[in-house]
Amino acid sequence: MMISLDQVGKRYNYDWIFRRVTLTFQQGGRYAILGPNGSGKSTLLQIIGGAIQHSEGAISYTTSGQDIAPDNFFNYCTFATPYLELVEEFTLTEAIQFHLQFKNFLPDVTPKLAMELVGLEKAAKKQIRYFSSGMKQRIKLALAILSDVPVLLLDEPCTNLDAAGVTVYQQLINQYGGDRLIIVSSNDEQEYFMCKEHIHISQYK
């Protein structure tokens, strides 16, 4: 999988958030988009994932030498963000079953194992509405990282996590990251500990 950005920019009304972003993300790479709060790093990550539209430039997706239509890229990626909503009326088991209607888990990963990996097996029958913010974030990370897709997009993945939760996140990445393309939007080193490539959003103002 390869994602290429050519002179990409985003503006709201007359204000440019960033401009002239030209980058290539390669299969197996670990990339961190860095910058302070409000700098546009989350916006750039959403543009990469196709969640919002860029204002200028072009983005292309290819796998095994074949182009992927932008409208189909969602089949190749998962997104974990603190602002991603879960269905509050679902139990944890139902939330996982709902997710699996759209994305499969990695080989040998079962719903039971997914719950155990994030320490929530005892909450299998509990409704999401009664989960703490940290428990909800663990669910989001499990659903994203354990899905069988070539691209992981992680926006401030340790938001709402305590020290134990951060350890769970890092263990998931180390054990299940594999050779996938991972892009992290963050200003916290413990979130992008695995990223060798650093992209500073301030360079594109």
Residue 108: the pLDDT is: 95
d(CA 126, CA 89): 10
Q: What is the pLDDT of residue 22?
A: 98
Mean pLDDT by 10 residues, the chain (205 residues): 98 95 98 95 96 96 94 96 94 98 97 98 98 97 98 97 98 98 97 98 94
Q: How far is CA 82 from CA 42, 46, 108, 140, 145, in A?
A: 11, 13, 27, 8, 15
Report pLDDT for 65.
Answer: 87
Residue identified by tokens 């072009």 is 58
Spell out the domains of the chain, with CATH numbers in brackets: 2-204 (3.40.50.300)
CA distance 120 to 29: 30
Phi-psi region at 153: left, alpha or beta (left = phi > 0; alpha = psi -120 to 50):
beta
pLDDT tens for each residue of 147-187:
999 999 999 999 999 999 999 999 999 999 999 999 999 99
203 neighbors 44 (Cβ within 8 angstroms): no
